[in-house]
Amino acid sequence: MRATKIALEEHVNPPELADAAARFYPPETWTRLREPLLDIHGRLLAAMDASGIEITVLSLNAPGIQAIPAKRQAVDAARRANDYFAEQVAQNPKRFLAFAALPMQDPEAAIVELTRCVQDLGFKGALVNGFSQTDDPATILYYDLPQYRPFWAAVEQLDVPFYLHPRQLVGERSDVHGYPWLQGSAWSFGVEVATHALRLMTSGLFDAYPKLTVVIGHLGETLPHAMWRLDHRIHAIARGVPAKKTVTECLRNNFYVTTSGNFSTLALMNTILAIGAERVMFSVDYPYEAMAEAAAWFDRLEVISEGDWYKIARGNAEKLLRIDTVKQSGASA
């Protein structure tokens, strides 16, 4: 019998923030999502039990704190969300862990909140829902900007992962105008996160902070499949690129990817060939994807070795998140 799994990209909402997210979804979609996002110890736990998922790392549903332009409000909302996560984990610490929500609109406040969450609350890192809006809602901030260097220094010092998750765009991408089915999770989310990740890589961030670890979902948002061409063309045509490390070096040394929302055997095998099984972790993307579907696909995989299967199922997450398997023992359904 195969081992139980650890899932890292599973989203919930504190009750007080739940309805603030409604404006980002069609009414019928929000009606379907609202209760699963709120019911941690009922629906989520039952789905874990039925799918052989031993531990879930809770994170704030997108766009979360990143869509609160007022800095003071963002700081306050992040602290309240993290206190809520800590309360939920305390109710069932064998089954739940947490990633911190961060007010990236204010890099100094983000440092303070991440430090509190890791050192005082025992969180395993942070999950941030893409770029942040600040002051003027049309103004967006990407985290390769110079003001974020002290934040990244703090992340490296704390030695925890930073999960870069998609969020709804501000306005409509011109390249999918008139094609609403290509917006959001079908295509635009992946483009946004991949571009953000490439900004981080090519800015020289990982030269300055070589021990940084960033996680991205959906089997790497196509980046493992594009890294040869990226490096080839950047070398061929670019001038003045700050980074010394190549995209390939960053993906293989500073990034992990998860299976969240991409249950494709071919894509998984290609990703393993590109960056190694040691850089891949199981996840679902609950409640947007079904834990049962993710588990049915992954548990039946026979095209990878049992050793690689175990690494992806839980071994890599145990190592990255420093999960004490002795303390967590007895948590299996």
Given the structure tokens 């548990």, which residue do they identify? Answer: 299
Gap between the Cα atoms of 84 and 49, Å rounded:
23
The CA–CA distances, whole Å, from 60 to 12, 23, 173 equal 5, 16, 25
* DSSP code string of 2-32: PPPEEEEEEEE--HHHHGGGGGGS-HHHHHH
Smallest CA-to-CA distance from 201 within 181, 224, 174 is with 224
10: which residues sit within 8 A by CB, 6+ positions away? 44, 56, 57, 58, 59, 283, 284, 285, 286
User: Which residues does 93 contact at the CB level (< 8 Å), separation at least 6?
Assistant: none
Our answer to whether residue 207 is catalytic in this structure is no
From the candidates 120, 285, 308, 324, give the one annotated as an active-site residue: 285
Cα end-to-end distance, the chain, whole Å: 14
Residue 295 in contact with residue 53, Cβ under 8 Å? yes
196 closest CA partner among 134, 252, 128, 131: 131
Question: Quick one: which of 220, 130, 135, 235 has its CA closest to 184?
Answer: 130
Residues annotated as catalytic are 285
